[in-house]
Amino acid sequence: MSPMSATANKANLLRAELGTNITVVSCGEKWPDALKNEDKLRPSIEDYLGAGIILSKLTGSKSPEAEVCIGAYEYSKNKISELIWDSASGRELRERGYEQDVIHCSQVDITTVVPILHENKFIRL
């Protein structure tokens, strides 16, 4: 089972078990060179597309925001690596010598680890 599928599968099980909604949050990143009055947090395409992948595999009704995120993933799914490579964060990482990290992290469904937040750190579920 792929990691996105594994994550969505666990979320689907928790939703059914707890009878609650699931929220997927696209994390974003901190902008290193924001101006004085600018917010340093910016949306990141890789997090947004990752959320879209997971949301596309969740059961149940979806919010309009989730539908748009899924739509972005569906439209982009055949060129995710190229989009991340050319994104602002992809370019920044490549300029700092992290080309292989960008290549590795642009892959979809390469592991089945499902992370959960426990005591302020992510651990394997």
pLDDT tens digits, one per residue of 38-63 = 777 777 888 889 999 999 999 999 99
Looking at domain 3-124, which CATH architecture does it have?
Alpha-Beta Complex (3.90)
Asked if residue 4 has pLDDT above 70, the reply is no
Better pLDDT: 97 or 28: 97
Entry pTM: 0.81
Q: Where are the domains of the chain?
A: 3-124
Q: Give backbone dihedrals phi and psi of 124, rounded to 5 degrees, phi first.
A: -75, 135
pLDDT tens digits, one per residue of 66-93 = 999 999 999 999 999 999 999 988 998 9
Structure tokens at 34: 């924001």
- 36: Cβ–Cβ under 8 A, 6 or more apart, which residues? none
Supply the pLDDT for residue 31.
73
Alpha helices in 1-125, H assignment, sequence order: 3-18, 45-56, 64-76, 80-86, 88-95, 99-105
